Amino acid sequence: MKLALVLPLVLAALVGAARAEETDDIRAASKAEAESFNARMYAGKPGNKAYACFVRRYDAEHLAQHPKQKVAAMKLLVSAELDKEDKELHNSFRLGFRYRHRSGDFDSQGDCHHVVFVKDGNEIRLGCGVDCEGGSIGVALSKDDRSAVVRLARVRVWLHNKPNDEAERSLEAGADDGIFPLDRTDTSECASLVTDRKELAALRHK
């Protein structure tokens, strides 16, 4: 997905509808900024392919303190792959989560581009969109790079490994589901988000 198409989605998800007209708050990242962020995201220069996995399972104490939170657990796999044609590194995301009061595992996925939030100290984030107007998420890193912070307003989701499911489902922010800090962990923890055998093997050997 091209940056021109992603930025409006990122505005809606990360700036908020009330400030969506303030497009000067966000700009595309420079090549140097993108490379710096990639090195932080993938704990080093990503090369031709790289992965980063972040996970959070909310315990009973946390959920008791946030009674309106709908999500009980979340996984985020961020991937980078060098395109053989344009020689550029392309980022994407896969999101998996479980609801608090609903059975089943749910997924979402899409392409990402680097954006800079000018009024937040030039913070670099990944702005990631889901195809077919499926909403978007933003992914930032903590200062120590040990956590990812996922922000969303609405993102289209589907039952695990069923992206062509025609049922209309979305994860919407609500009172306690707009910002999710996730802890960095071994990439094998995100293996359930990958279906391709070759990619799964590469992920498990990272």
Chain segment 147-186, per-residue pLDDT in tens: 999 999 899 999 987 877 777 789 988 888 889 999 999 9
> What's the whole-number average pLDDT of the chain?
84
Rounded mean pLDDT of 15-36?
A: 68
Among the residue ranges 20-34, 37-51, 64-78, the one predicted with the least confidence is 20-34
Instruction: State residue 93's pLDDT score.
Output: 96
By CB atoms closer than 10 A (0-12, 13-18, 19+), residue 196 is exposed
Q: What is the pLDDT of residues 34-65, one digit of tens each?
A: 999 999 999 999 988 999 999 999 999 999 99
Tell whether the model's pLDDT for residue 127 goes beyond 80: yes
Residue 119 has pLDDT above 80, yes or no: no
163 Cβ contact list (under 8 Å, min separation 6): 107, 109
Structure tokens at 121: 């100290």
Between 197 and 43, residue with greater pLDDT: 43
Full domain range(s) for residue 45:
3-204
What is the count of structural domains for the chain? Answer: 1
